[in-house]
């Protein structure tokens, strides 16, 4: 693994990276200050009181709105649009209207005022999504006229058959708010509170920009909640304010997004100019709309929203080009998804305006779902670091619902199919997209993909084995493991070591403690920008790393315990061989009938001593083992009246494992035995070298053996091949001139444990 870069020095102004002049800078000193803080409650003092006050204030505002809406009168009846745009009575609980079911309402009157025409536009609650200016003007006039007649006194309903019904309108009450009002109002309260939490947690300009977007869309949700009221009759002023106020809310949301992306995570050179242009566009639109100079008004409104969304997307893309930053990447994905769905909704509503026979609820469905989609993305943004599956699913369903509702309008408008056919086609396509792209959207929208279990286990096992063999390299091996798991853009060290893995910088970095125990000094690794800046670190990543660290040390402890057990068992076997077999051989030595038998038993005892000493040794240094091998071979060759040539050199003295020591010992003895007893050699030359991790062993004799390619490999030569393969090397025999056999064994990477 390449050496980790040293900590970066902080530049003046708090930027710790030469490429990051803005908020994306993560200086080492800032990390250390963060890690030095003890865990303490964040919501203390004025923040806690301010948050409680905000929660109460938003709750009171929602309850006041609900109480005000509940106190306004309404017409408790269900209506639907007729084939020519008339308003047809469908059902009602009022006795006076039972005789007029299925009849068309043509006018509304009350008191001495002349009746005013009424048609199916009363079923369209939101002037904001009315395409034609003339239709919007009539729509607002009818809603305001109905609200005024309901509040003034008895309401006169004029039907097409000439019948007139006079009703005393009653307040709708809380039960008359409908089942959609309360969930939408609760979502608005939650979104407003989310903005307050973000703004108070760390009061900074970008936090207040998020709060601005959240509060604006909370206002949009409250307008939608009022437009879902059952029956006829909106509260006074709601229809009149709907277009201008909701466009202002959307415009402020877009301008805040432009301002935010121009400064975070990278401050762009033209940030001030883009900010001024965005807010000037919103103010100019409101001024021109108030003067009546924007015609058609709806297209200008959509143009403003699309222009601000496009500018925000362009800024996010430029920020990503300047540096692969996960914050910029996630914000770009969110902005692109929002802009794409807004364009789809715009086209669908514009085409659906050509079909006045479409039910108003169907036409309003796509804009409402788009607003819910935008609100869900705003709710999801502060929780990108934390795992919130419910918010992910809600955002995903809102986005798919927006696509389905828009496709339904497009099918009905473009292909002139009936509403049920278009609904079935839209749902089929939406479900297919949902089932096919669900995992991709969850991973790429928020960038929350994590390494697979199989890959994590494979990497963990390999690194744990290397740590067990070389504990001093634990920090470097841990850094290598984390690089392969998360592919960070940058990794560096800091001196402050946290108690556990922590996510800092809002998911931009992961701080991992690297405690080497007695083998290496404690340090901390900082991983910056996961997947080369493509996604954020999450708390799930921190928990995964903590589990990986725990399992790594468990594996090391297990291997050490196994090795201790093996060593104790080898010592027991060595002791038994020494006390039992050694004593018996020594007795036979004293009772040997001939000098040849005595000499044979003496060599056998020497071999047994070598074996037991090797089994009982706690460690085998290469230099010590080489001395023992040379002594053993010299004695064996001297007994056979042969000479030994010995050359040993090594660029480092490493510790042999039991497997390595045993394999090399038996290979050397087998090769020398073959040279003596099969080749009748008078001289054996042994060269053993270790250079750069490559072990080279050469054994050359001057015996009578020739043509090794034709040998039948029995137990002896087969054992040599098996042991060399166990070490991860290769062995070959060749003729040595003028006579004898040369055997060469090579093992690459001999410093690693097999």
- Can you say whether residue 728 is alpha, beta or left, with left for phi > 0 and alpha for psi between -120 and 50 degrees? left
Q: What b/e string do you get for 642-674 counting C-beta neighbours within 10 Å, with b at 16 or more? A: bebeeeeeeeeebbbbbebbbbbbebbbbbbeb
Contacts of 264 (CB under 8 A, 6+ apart): 22, 23, 24, 206, 327
Residue 160 pLDDT exceeds 70: yes
Report cis status (omega within 30 of 0) of the bond before 614.
Answer: no
* pLDDT greater at residue 113 or residue 501: 501
Residue 32 pLDDT exceeds 50: no
The C-alpha atoms of residue 5 and residue 15 are separated, in whole angstroms, by 18
Q: What does 120-142 look like in DSSP terms, one character per residue?
A: GGGG---GGG---HHHHHHHHHH
Q: Which of 630, 738, 627, 607 is nearest to 685 (CA)?
A: 630
What crossing angle do the helices spanning 622-639 and 595-616 adopt, rounded to 10°?
A: 170
Range in 386-395, 529-538, 666-675, 736-745 the model is least confident about: 386-395
Please write the tens of the pLDDT for every residue from 162-218: 888 888 888 889 988 988 899 999 999 999 999 998 888 878 888 899 999 999 999
What pLDDT shows up at residue 382? 78
What pLDDT shows up at residue 39? 44
CB 393 within 8 A of CB 445: no
Fold: same for 75-171 and 619-754: no
Please write the tens of the pLDDT for every residue from 476-513: 777 788 888 888 878 887 777 787 888 887 777 888 88
Beta-ladder partners of 687? 647, 698
Please write the tens of the pLDDT for every residue from 617-651: 656 788 888 888 888 888 888 878 889 999 999 88
The C-alpha atoms of residue 377 and residue 369 are separated, in whole angstroms, by 12
Fold classified for 619-754: Heat Shock Protein 90 (3.30.565)
CB 351 within 8 A of CB 113: no
Q: How large is the average pLDDT for residues 539-553? A: 79
What pLDDT shows up at residue 3? 36
The C-alpha atoms of residue 557 and residue 30 are separated, in whole angstroms, by 35
Task: Write the DSSP symbol of residue 579.
Answer: I
What pLDDT shows up at residue 111? 66
Would you kindly state where each structural domain of the chain is located, as residue ranges? 75-171, 240-324, 357-449, 453-550, 619-754
Q: Given pLDDT bands bounded at 50, 70 and 90, which one contains residue 599?
A: confident
* pLDDT greater at residue 396 or residue 157: 157
What pLDDT shows up at residue 553? 72
The C-alpha atoms of residue 690 and residue 652 are separated, in whole angstroms, by 8
Residue 732 pLDDT exceeds 60: yes
Please write the tens of the pLDDT for every residue from 702-717: 888 877 776 766 656 7
Residue 519 pLDDT exceeds 80: no
**For residue 67, how many other CB atoms are within 10 A of its CB?**
10
R_g of the chain, CA atoms, integer Å: 42
Q: Which residue is associated with the tokens 């020591």?
A: 661
Q: How large is the average pLDDT for residues 276-299? A: 94
Residue 323 pLDDT exceeds 60: yes
What pLDDT shows up at residue 456? 66
Residues of the chain above pLDDT 70, percent: 78
| Three-state DSSP string of 659-673 | HHHHHHHHHHHHHHH
The overall average pLDDT reported for the chain is 79
Residue 358 pLDDT exceeds 80: no
pTM of this structure: 0.67
Q: Given pLDDT bands bounded at 50, 70 and 90, which one contains residue 296?
A: very high
Residue 656 pLDDT exceeds 60: yes
What pLDDT shows up at residue 619? 63
Going through 485-629 in order, the beta strands assigned E by DSSP cover 490-494, 502-504, 509-514, 523-528, 620-621
Q: Given pLDDT bands bounded at 50, 70 and 90, which one contains residue 40?
A: very low
Q: Given pLDDT bands bounded at 50, 70 and 90, which one contains residue 4?
A: very low
Highest mean pLDDT among 244-253, 475-484, 523-532, 565-574: 244-253
Please write the tens of the pLDDT for every residue from 420-450: 666 667 666 777 766 665 665 555 544 445 5
Q: Given pLDDT bands bounded at 50, 70 and 90, which one contains residue 753?
A: very low
Give the helix, strand, coil percentages of the chain, each rounded to 5: 60, 15, 25
Pairing of strands 170-171, 164-167: unpaired
Report cis status (omega within 30 of 0) of the bond before 281.
Answer: no
Q: Alpha carbon of 438 to those of 428, 450, 541, 583, 661: distances in Å?
A: 15, 16, 21, 75, 56
Contacts of 508 (CB under 8 A, 6+ apart): 24, 26, 265, 325, 326, 327, 528, 529, 536, 537
Taking the alpha carbons at both ends of the chain, their separation in whole angstroms is: 20
What pLDDT shows up at residue 37? 47
Range in 292-301, 345-354, 389-398 the model is least confident about: 389-398
Task: Write the DSSP symbol of residue 23.
Answer: T
CB 751 within 8 A of CB 693: yes
CATH architecture of 75-171: Roll (2.30)
Range in 72-81, 90-99, 589-598, 735-744 the model is least confident about: 589-598
Q: Which of 338, 176, 143 is nearest to 242 (CA)?
A: 143
* pLDDT greater at residue 328 or residue 566: 328
What pLDDT shows up at residue 608? 72
Task: Write the DSSP symbol of residue 578.
Answer: I
* pLDDT greater at residue 17 or residue 194: 194
């Amino acid at each position: 693994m390449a050496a980790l870069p040293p900590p970066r020095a902080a530049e003046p102004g708090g930027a710790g990276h030469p490429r990051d002049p803005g908020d994306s800078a993560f200086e080492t000193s800032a990390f250390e200050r963060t890690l030095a803080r003890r865990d303490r409650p964040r919501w203390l003092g004025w923040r806690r009181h301010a948050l409680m006050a905000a929660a109460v204030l938003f709750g009171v505002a929602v309850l006041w709105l609900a109480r005000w809406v509940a106190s306004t009168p309404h017409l408790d009846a269900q209506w639907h649009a007729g084939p020519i745009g008339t308003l047809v009575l469908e059902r009602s609980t009022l006795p006076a209207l039972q005789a007029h079911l299925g009849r068309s309402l043509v006018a509304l009157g009350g008191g001495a005022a002349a009746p005013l025409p009424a048609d199916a536009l009363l079923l369209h609650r939101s002037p904001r999504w009315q395409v034609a200016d003339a239709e919007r003007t009539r729509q607002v006039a009818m809603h305001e006229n109905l609200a005024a007649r309901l509040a003034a006194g008895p309401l006169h309903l004029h039907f097409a058959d000439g019948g007139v019904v006079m009703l005393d309108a009653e307040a709708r009450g809380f039960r008359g708010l409908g089942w959609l009002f309360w969930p939408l109002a609760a979502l608005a309260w939650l979104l407003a509170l989310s903005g307050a939490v973000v703004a108070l947690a760390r009061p900074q300009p970008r936090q207040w920009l998020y709060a601005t977007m959240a509060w604006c869309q909370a206002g949009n949700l409250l307008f939608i909640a009022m437009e879902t009221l059952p029956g006829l009759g909106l509260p006074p002023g709601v229809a009149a304010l709907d277009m201008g106020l909701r466009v202002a809310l959307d415009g402020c949301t877009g301008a805040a997004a432009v301002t935010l992306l121009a400064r975070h995570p990278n401050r762009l050179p033209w940030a001030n100019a883009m900010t001024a242009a965005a807010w000037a566009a919103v103010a100019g639109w409101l001024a021109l709309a108030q003067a009546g100079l924007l015609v058609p008004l709806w297209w200008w409104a959509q143009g403003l929203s699309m222009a601000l969304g496009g500018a925000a997307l362009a800024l996010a893309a430029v920020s990503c080009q300047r540096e692969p930053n996960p914050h910029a990447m996630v914000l770009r994905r969110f902005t692109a998804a929002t802009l794409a769905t807004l364009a789809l909704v715009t086209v669908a509503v514009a085409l659906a305006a050509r079909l006045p026979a479409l039910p108003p609820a169907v036409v309003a469905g796509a804009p409402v779902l788009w607003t819910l989609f935008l609100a869900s993305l705003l709710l999801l943004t502060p929780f990108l670091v934390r795992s919130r599956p419910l918010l992910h699913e809600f955002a995903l369903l809102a986005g798919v619902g927006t696509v389905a509702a828009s496709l339904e309008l497009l099918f009905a408008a473009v292909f002139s199919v009936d509403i049920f056919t278009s609904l079935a086609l839209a749902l089929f396509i939406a479900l297919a997209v949902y089932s096919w792209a669900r995992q991709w959207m969850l991973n790429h929208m928020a960038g929350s993909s994590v390494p697979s279990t199989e890959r994590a286990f494979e990497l963990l096992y390999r690194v744990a084995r290397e740590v067990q063999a070389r504990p001093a390299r634990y920090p470097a091996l841990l850094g290598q493991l984390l690089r392969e798991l998360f592919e960070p853009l940058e990794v560096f060290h800091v001196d402050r070591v946290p108690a556990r893995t922590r996510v800092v910088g809002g998911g931009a970095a992961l701080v991992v403690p690297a405690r080497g125990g007695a083998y290496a000094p404690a340090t901390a690794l900082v991983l910056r920008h996961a997947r080369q800046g493509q996604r954020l670190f999450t708390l799930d990543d921190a928990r995964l790393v903590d589990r990986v660290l725990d399992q790594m040390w468990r594996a090391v402890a297990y291997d050490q315990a196994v090795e201790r057990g093996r060593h104790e068992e080898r010592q027991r076997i060595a002791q038994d061989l020494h006390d039992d077999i050694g004593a018996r051989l020594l007795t036979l030595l004293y009772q040997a009938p001939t000098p040849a038998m005595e000499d044979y038993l003496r060599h056998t005892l020497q071999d047994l001593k070598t074996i037991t000493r090797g089994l009982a040794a706690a460690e085998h240094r290469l230099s010590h083992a080489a001395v023992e091998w040379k002594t053993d071979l010299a004695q064996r060759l001297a007994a056979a009246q042969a000479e030994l040539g010995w050359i040993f050199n090594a660029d480092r003295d490493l510790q042999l494992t039991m497997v390595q020591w045993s394999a090399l010992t038996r290979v050397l003895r087998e090769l020398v035995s073959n040279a003596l007893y099969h080749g009748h050699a008078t001289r054996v030359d042994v060269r053993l070298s270790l250079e750069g991790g490559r072990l080279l062993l050469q054994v050359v004799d001057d015996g009578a053996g020739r043509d090794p390619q034709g040998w039948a490999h029995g137990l002896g030569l087969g054992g040599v091949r098996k042991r060399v393969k166990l070490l991860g090397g290769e062995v070959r025999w060749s003729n040595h001139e003028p006579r004898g056999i040369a055997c060469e064994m090579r093992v690459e990477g001999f410093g690693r444990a097999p």
